[in-house]
Structure 1
Amino acid sequence: MREHPRVAIVGAGPSGLYAAGALLKGSGDVRIDILDRLPTPYGLLRYGVAPDHTSLQGIQRVLAEPFASDRVRFFGLVELGHDITADELRRGYDAVVYAAGAAEDRRLDVRGEDLLGSRSAREFVAWYCGHPDAEPQSLADVEAAVTFGVGNVAVDVARILLAAPERLATTDMPEAVLAELAAHRVADVWVVGRRGPEHATFTTTELRELLTLDGVQPVLHDPIPEDPEGADRRVRQNLGALRAAAERVVDAPHARLHLAFWRRPVELVGVTGVRAVVLERTGLDSSGRVVGTGEREVVPAQLVLRAIGYRGKPLPGVPFDPEAGVVPNEAGRVVDAAGARPGEYVVGWIKRGPLGVIGTNKSDAAATVTGLLADLEAGLLPAPMGPDAAEVLTGRGRAASTFADWERIDAAEQAAGERFGRPRVKVATWHALTDLVRHGRPGGPLEHEGDPA
């Protein structure tokens, strides 16, 4: 193995940081540079985990471990294809690991989907998690919301809309988000799935949490079937939780949670904004495919959130499979039409698609890193022939942020939390984030404001 091999990781989310940890454990000599468009590491853990799920946020301590090593550097505010190219990384490092996640979402592909009030659950989650790219969400005129999807993202957005303000008051949500959620008058939230509850991908803990929210009356629009033969434990527990919810009676509820299975959207109705959703009953044909039955119903709604899956988007200068929404690879080694691309690797959702939970990325990253280190040991990787990221960025006059800059952001969030009696308050604007990086203090409000300088 070469002395001091250099590895660049593009993306500081869970998959990238698990890969960094595996590299440190697998080699006592490797040097690692982690690049991210944001000045804040942790990716989906910071901006995708519901703020009221603080136990999951505890994973951050594990993900932060690589940054304690003097063999790891963090380059924030660095965007692939804008500040540095994939070709420059390939020339400057023994290996490049792409850990870009899945930054786009699937569409419903129905008439009216582009009306105001129709958006992806990913965008809604980014808003309440304080992502600097997120657009503010007004709930002023929303009395009913529909979310399409039967996974944990749908559960999260439904729970946030239905939760009493005091449940959210101790989270790290930006103040403007908390104010919007405390003031809204959403009385009905629908969770709609194309298949039956036995096919849903909810995890039971999250489903039970939603079904037992204080002051929320569950309304099940279909009978819950008996446990299918051979069903796994999660499916059995989910169906049991749904049956219990069907029997639950809440005195003087402030809102209703509607669960409607075997339905699909066929149209969003409105002039400029969504006013209703047309649903069609579904069933399975002889080959097991979901098909419409022709039976329709109309659900009044002013907000529609699609939570039907994420997908990756192309990375500049990197092969991409548009059908699967991933970087084509063989066991984590990037390939293109001509075959293998030595020195390029991929981890996480951009490798395998948006499957699994945050912890799934640990074993996934370890598998890719095992292959990378084996290739390095076997002498299969081209030697670096160019400058590393620090030299490229300096030559271009671009100042990346560092892990110390993130620590200042972290301290500012905790200080803001003390003022509001909370553990932290997210710095949620590009303006405030970059001011903390450049000047050590926020120069404006900690709310949404513009794009990065």
Structure 2
Amino acid sequence: MTSLSSPPLHVAVVGAGPAGIHAAGVLSHLAPRTKIDLIELLPAPYGLVRYGVSPDHPRIKKIVESLHGVLDGSNIRLLCNIEIGTEITVDELRDAYDAVIIATGASRDATLDIPGIRLPGSFGAADFVSWYNGHPDAHTTWPLSAESVAVIGAGNVALDVTRMLIKHAHTLSDTDVSDRVYQDLAANPIRDVHLFARRGPADVRFSPIELRELGDQLDVDVIVNPADLESNPHLDRMTRQFTPVHHIVETMREWSRIPADRRTASRRVYLHFHHAPAAVLGADTVEGLRTEVMAPDGYGHAFGSGEFVEHDVQAVYRAVGYASTALAGVPFDHASNTVPHVAGAVVDNHGNHVPGLYTTGWIKRGPVGLIGSTKSDARQTVDTLLARVAADARPRLDRQGVDGLLRDRNLRTVDWDGWLRIDSAERELGAACGRDRIKIVERDELVTIGTQPRDQT
């Protein structure tokens, strides 16, 4: 732990999503004299909250307000639009700071290795989520041409994908979706979404609130096979022991009891349980999905039955989890897609601590837990950093952090004032249409707004 007589620490945090911001905030609180640079690849902060939460979830997006409070008027300096690993290396950061915390998250799709998964019309949820959230590096348009779609997955991301696919665009008119996304969704001809889960209703990873929201969509029917919800020892045990599971199963039972003559919506969602993806079908594009019927063992496990079913769909979305990407200069475990560490202190392939290098968030522990869980995770990492920093001591080659490198390489950075200008510009776009905000999606436009001198805004 540093003392008041020692020089202030200078720490870089790579990644300005919730994990990085919480780490910076905890460090600022525990060691108030610390100079902290929060370095972000994108031209805007907030990571998963800005680019990974569905636009129809304003209650979750309110987390931005608390993250804003951590950064506004603090000793944390925001530096966006910098690619660590290429424009500035991790070794250069380690030379310039007393410690570096890696908090780059998990932004790519986990793999699903089945035949046909790379056919045109087969998509990863992460790419789709980035598109409808206006990520500056996402596709500019999305091929929404299928009338019948399969979604593979049993978590909240699968629900988000299903809900955004089946939603009527005009119900998003009070959200921050870009005009381009709105127009593409408005032309979506979809009629049916089939969601496939490998196990049963008691074993899904849905949250009760998000599942209920699926049934609250305008002009959408949710259809569940009553046989999947019949009493059995495993389902009964799970609903007794876990209140969320009870709510999930009861919600599905309500849907299963709706008579067929009351299902008059123009769009439908079918929930299929005990179906594992076996192959995406088609020659030049997706023409169907083959699933294997799974046999439950009564204890929450399911095994292949050898019986296969083919479903007529024209697109497949896999929502089987997120994975982190290796960062040059940082040890990486490709089996778990995480940075190896001990209590947040990065270790190499031999288990030896890498001096001055730490990690937090999903790249540390994998893509599990809610956004709020990043706080306790960040506390562990910061506690470890402060306990080790004296032993880690290395000569800093640049006492100004990355400032010299930014100047020498003529890198355009968006700072906190620049982000506030972007924020203001998006709110002005929204106000003109009676909305709170319309998101700006082009990277060049974001950087231009974020780097303009004050007298030009």
Contact kept? 2:149, 2:193, Cα under 8 Å: yes
TM-superposed CA distance for 1:53, in Å, is 0.5
TM-superposed CA distance for 1:284, in Å, is 4.5
> What secondary structure is seen at the aligned counterpart in 1 of 2:237?
coil
Of 71-80 and 245-254, more deviation after overlay is shown by 245-254
Aligned counterpart, 2:283: 271
Aligned counterpart, 1:428: 441
Matched, 1:343 2:356: yes
Aligned counterpart, 1:317: 329
Contact kept? 2:192, 2:267, Cα under 8 Å: yes
The one of 387, 405, 408 aligned to 1:374:
387
Aligned counterpart, 1:224: 229
In the comparison of the two structures, how many residue pairs are matched? 439
Aligned counterpart, 1:240: 250
> What secondary structure is seen at the aligned counterpart in 1 of 2:448?
helix
With the length of structure 2 as denominator, give the TM-score of the two structures: 0.92
The aligned amino acid for 1:312 is S
> What secondary structure is seen at the aligned counterpart in 2 of 1:432?
helix
For residues 138 and 90 of structure 1, what CA distance do their matches in structure 2 show? 40
> What secondary structure is seen at the aligned counterpart in 2 of 1:316?
coil
Aligned counterpart, 1:385: 396
Matched, 1:413 2:423: no
Q: How does 1:391-410 map to 2 (within 5 A)?
A: 391-410=404-423
The aligned amino acid for 1:228 is D
Alpha-carbon spacing, 1:236–1:289, altered in 2? closer, same or farther (3 Å): closer
The one of 60, 64, 69 aligned to 2:64:
60
For residues 395 and 70 of structure 2, what CA distance do their matches in structure 1 show? 23
Which runs of no fewer than 5 residues in structure 1 stay unpaired?
442-453
> What secondary structure is seen at the aligned counterpart in 2 of 1:321?
coil
TM-superposed CA distance for 1:422, in Å, is 1.1
> What secondary structure is seen at the aligned counterpart in 2 of 1:238?
helix
Of 192-201 and 215-224, more deviation after overlay is shown by 215-224
Contact kept? 2:98, 2:396, Cα under 8 Å: no
With the length of structure 1 as denominator, give the TM-score of the two structures: 0.93
For residues 87 and 139 of structure 1, what CA distance do their matches in structure 2 show? 41
Which runs of no fewer than 5 residues in structure 2 stay unpaired?
none
The aligned amino acid for 2:321 is G
The one of 268, 275, 280 aligned to 2:292:
280
> What secondary structure is seen at the aligned counterpart in 1 of 2:41?
coil
Contact kept? 2:122, 2:317, Cα under 8 Å: yes
Alpha-carbon spacing, 1:99–1:246, altered in 2? closer, same or farther (3 Å): same
For residues 62 and 245 of structure 1, what CA distance do their matches in structure 2 show? 36
TM-superposed CA distance for 1:397, in Å, is 2.4
Aligned counterpart, 1:444: none
Contact kept? 2:44, 2:414, Cα under 8 Å: no
For residues 453 and 263 of structure 2, what CA distance do their matches in structure 1 show? 51
Alpha-carbon spacing, 1:32–1:409, altered in 2? closer, same or farther (3 Å): same
The aligned amino acid for 2:147 is E
Q: Deviations over 1:120-153 (max 9, x none)?
A: 1111111110001111444552101111111000
For residues 263 and 395 of structure 2, what CA distance do their matches in structure 1 show? 68
Matched, 1:117 2:121: yes
The one of 3, 6, 11 aligned to 1:7:
11
For residues 321 and 5 of structure 1, what CA distance do their matches in structure 2 show? 29
* Identity in percent: 37
TM-superposed CA distance for 1:337, in Å, is 2.4
